[in-house]
Amino acid sequence: MYLLNVLPLIFFVILNRSHPISSIAVGVGEAISLYNGTDKVAVLSSENFSSTVYQSKTAWAVEFYASWCGHCRTYANTYREVAATAWPWRMIVRIGAINCYGGANLDLCRQHGVRGFPTIRLIRPESVFDNSSKVIVIPATDAIYVTRELIRQLDNMHRRYKSWPDFTPANRVIFEELYARAPRTTKLLLLVFEKRKDTTGRQLMLDFSNYRDQMTIFRTTTDGRLWRKLHVNNTDIPSLFVILKNRTAQRIPVQQNKSLDADNRGLFNRAIRLYIHQTNSITNFNDQEFDAMDQIRKTLHKQRLTRQSAKNREYIEANIDRNTTRRKVNMIDLELALSHMFRQEIPQFKSIRGPAYDALIQWITILTKYFPGREPVMNYLERLLSKVKEQSDGFSGSKFQEIVDVKTSDAYLPTNHNRYQHCAGSQPQYRGYPCALWLLFHTLTVSQYQKELRQIDVREIPLAIKGYIKYFFTCRECRKNFMKETVNIAELDTTNKQEAILYLWKIHNHVNERLHTDITEDPKYPKVQFPSKFLCPTCKIINTNEFDISNTMDFLLHYYSESNIDSTLISKESHHSDNSSNRPEDLISKMEFIDETADRSVIIRYLPDIVQQYPLNAFLLFLILVIGISRYRHCKAKRRRYTL
Ligand SMILES: Cc1cc2nc3c(=O)[nH]c(=O)nc-3n(C[C@H](O)[C@H](O)[C@H](O)COP(=O)(O)OP(=O)(O)OC[C@H]3O[C@@H](n4cnc5c(N)ncnc54)[C@H](O)[C@@H]3O)c2cc1C
């Protein structure tokens, strides 16, 4: 009996032992690292960032990203490719990444003035954190460009570091002096002829930087003395020579690729390795890591091609998880979207002033007017707006964080929602915040349409959304694309009340089209043209792929109307006030499935999720139940025997 009495306690302890912070984060589907031990990317956090990156012997390229940001997930493969390429350069530069989503990492990213994800920063060797010094940003584009830019930046700073290769073209050096310019220990001296902007030579210097004591590579361009001396043809560059100790030059044959920065590095690298193996010119030479690196890059490249060919796949309606599709817009998701933007996204910015401040006022004003929220949340938004207005000169992100967390019993924005409902992905990396943000945007346009009986300026909400995206949405790629999509916002027909709803619907469908079969797409929830035939059979004109605008409008008005928003869990929750605190233990204690006030149906509803998310816990619980029941039976049988 004793065991049975303590079972609920054991159940509670088991749930609590699952690392409260990560379990909450995974619940909202976001704070999982995009990189792991198999990548050549060092995983950084607020705990190891300073000790790793600052006062380091090497430079550091660091990607600041947020795991909720779909584009960051897509970009992770590109960054992995950069890291694989740069792995042999690790004595000079290391490649790392930090997830800015979540508590302490958020503060660190704010201190570093990160304004969007992903952002790649290059940090000099032996530097200390200095807020005022100029930062070096490498645009997060394709792997070839990032690598080239990284090299250009390393080149800019190389003179300060004696142990680094000398990237300066040896144009003024005369041929006979080459050995004198190289370290005395040099056993192999190579010369690369290339165009001035080509990075092949510098990549090779970095590739073999581990052997700098035995091997020296110089680069030279077509306007230097060495060019004339060796009579290299213009059509022959890039080309590679070995300079022998007897002061003669011998060409190393390399199959060439003429386009600038095409993968000549790979071809030249292989030719050099072959030469080293044939001549045994370098002691303890081990080139296995180059092959491993090539393999990683090939695999990543192949994955990209597979994804591109998948783009042409026909969309099959039967693939859709209908249960997921059927989920209504949920108030929990809308509140979570607000919570994320106020507690995570806006505080990310160091300074909120001028046009960003105006955009924030405009955005919160829209929320106070049209968010179909319950009373305490609407009170909260009103108070937030007046608090923000009080600070007319603007404020810092951390000041905003203070304002945001002010709450009273009749005005609060809950912190105790721990999982998205409509926007829950089939895996933690899918859906979440951006999904909830879209729902919020659509809901606002429909709410305005239904609330305002008088003539309204239909651009009010699209403009406020655009302001929010422009100044605060931290997904860099989404921001850029959304700005492009909304250039014609001024042309909206202000006399047509439906215009804002349809405008946003169309833009969202463009995004869906672009992202269909993208790595960010939840396979159980493909990004189809919305609404699907399954959701709205009459929204498409029969036998065509065209939408019937009138039927679609009716559908959207219903789908995003206040009366259709699922608030079941919210009303269960509001039985107890939100004395919300951010402490994980408070959040855990409020999880519906262990809440004393929660009814059995809620527990049963979440049981599959609990088992899926905490398989070990579920197994332990099962074991305890089995032991408990058998002990109970055993004791009962024993007692019966004694009474007999
Ligand atoms: C403004 C904005 C711009 C973005 N731009 C990019 C980008 O450039 N690159 C990128 O990788 N990611 C971008 N994202 C994220 C991306 O659009 C998705 O939000 C994310 O990948 C999650 O997708 P999802 O499958 O949950 O569905 P989402 O596309 O987020 O949709 C959420 C819900 O909205 C409803 N819905 C879907 N389509 C429509 C529609 N046309 N009209 C009305 N309701 C609809 C459905 O119920 C759906 O479940 C952006 C997000 C936002 C908010």
List, for residues 392-412, the tens digit of each pLDDT value: 999 999 899 999 987 888 999
Closest CA to 119 of 152, 141, 147, 151: 141
**How many other CB atoms are found less than 10 A from the CB of residue 486?**
19
3-state secondary structure 369-438: HHCCCCHHHHHHHHHHHHHHHHCCCCEEHHHHHHHHCCCECCECCCCCCCCCCCCECCCCCCECHHHHHH
Closest CA to 421 of 335, 330, 526, 338: 330
- CA separation for the pair 150, 155 (Å, rounded): 9
Q: Give me ligand 1 centre to Cα 478, in Å.
A: 10
- CA separation for the pair 574, 414 (Å, rounded): 10
Q: What is the pLDDT of residues 546-588, one digit of tens each?
A: 999 999 999 999 999 999 999 988 876 665 445 444 433 333 3
Atom of ligand 1 nearest to the CA of 507: 41
Atom of ligand 1 nearest to the CA of 511: 17
Site to probe by mutation for ligand 1, drawn from 431, 438, 445 as the one with most ligand atoms within 8 Å of Cβ, is: 438
Give the 3-state secondary structure of residue 508: helix
DSSP β-ladder status, 93-99 and 119-123: unpaired
| Atom 5 of ligand 1, residue of closest alpha carbon | 478
Where is average pLDDT lowest: 233-242, 250-259, 458-467?
A: 250-259
Reported for 605-614, long-range contacts at CB under 8 A and 24+ positions apart, including other chains, are 609/419, 613/23, 613/26, 613/27, 614/14, 614/15, 614/18, 614/23
Q: What is the pLDDT of residues 519-534, one digit of tens each?
A: 888 888 888 899 988 8
CATH homologous superfamily, domain 324-565:
ERV/ALR sulfhydryl oxidase domain (1.20.120.310)
Token duo for residue 13? 């302890």
Q: Give the per-residue pLDDT at 312.
A: 46
DSSP single-letter state for residue 315: P
- In the chain, how long is the greatest CA-to-CA distance? 112
Q: Give me ligand 1 centre to Cα 517, in Å.
A: 13
Strand partners, 148: none
341 contacts 416 by C-beta, under 8 angstroms: no
Atom of ligand 1 nearest to the CA of 431: 26
- Of the pLDDT bands very low, low, confident and very high (cuts 50, 70, 90), residue 630 is confident
Average pLDDT, the chain: 83
Please report the DSSP string for 540-598 in residue order. Answer: B-TTSS-B-HHHHHHHHHHHTSGGGSB-HHHHHHTTS-------HHHHHHT-GGG-TTS
Q: Please give the class, per CATH, of domain 165-298.
A: alpha beta
Closest CA to 451 of 562, 360, 538: 562
| Atom 15 of ligand 1, residue of closest alpha carbon | 434
Atom of ligand 1 nearest to the CA of 442: 43
- CA separation for the pair 85, 296 (Å, rounded): 9
Q: What is the pLDDT of residues 348-382, one digit of tens each?
A: 998 999 999 999 999 999 999 999 999 999 999 99
Tell me: pLDDT of 23 over 70. no
Give, for 64, the enclosing helix (H) or strand (E): strand 59-65
609 contacts 592 by C-beta, under 8 angstroms: no
DSSP single-letter state for residue 342: I
Cα radius of gyration rounded to whole Å, the chain: 30
Closest CA to 462 of 436, 478, 480, 442: 442
Most confident of 229-238, 301-310, 367-376: 367-376
Atom of ligand 1 nearest to the CA of 526: 25
- Residue found under tokens 């233990």: 585
Q: Name every protein residue with a CB atom under 6 angstroms from any ligand 1 atom.
A: 70-71, 74, 423, 431, 434-435, 437-439, 442, 469, 477-478, 481-482, 505, 508-509, 511-512, 515, 520, 522, 525, 527, 530
Q: Give me ligand 1 centre to Cα 258, in Å.
A: 42
497 contacts 445 by C-beta, under 8 angstroms: no
> Is the Cα torsion angle 74, 75, 76, 82 positive or negative in sign?
positive
Tell me: pLDDT of 200 over 80. yes
Q: Give me ligand 1 centre to Cα 337, in Å.
A: 13
Strand partners, 120: 63, 138
Site to probe by mutation for ligand 1, drawn from 435, 465, 472, 564 as the one with most ligand atoms within 8 Å of Cβ, is: 435
- What residues contact 143, with CB distance under 8 A and at least 6 apart? 78, 79, 81, 82, 85
- CA separation for the pair 239, 254 (Å, rounded): 7
Where is average pLDDT lowest: 19-23, 446-450, 462-466, 481-485?
A: 19-23
The pTM (predicted TM-score) of the whole model is 0.77
Closest CA to 41 of 134, 128, 146, 112: 146
Give the 3-state secondary structure of residue 274: helix
Q: Give me ligand 1 centre to Cα 362, in Å.
A: 23
CATH topology agreement for domains 42-159 and 165-298: yes
Q: Where are the beta strands (DSSP E) in 197-303?
A: 215-220, 239-243, 249-252
Atom of ligand 1 nearest to the CA of 70: 11
Atom of ligand 1 nearest to the CA of 522: 25
**How many other CB atoms are found less than 10 A from the CB of residue 405?**
16
Domain locations in the chain as residue ranges: 42-159, 165-298, 324-565, 601-630
Please report the DSSP string for 585-606 in residue order. Answer: HHHHHT-GGG-TTS-HHHHHHH
CATH topology for 42-159?
A: Glutaredoxin (3.40.30)
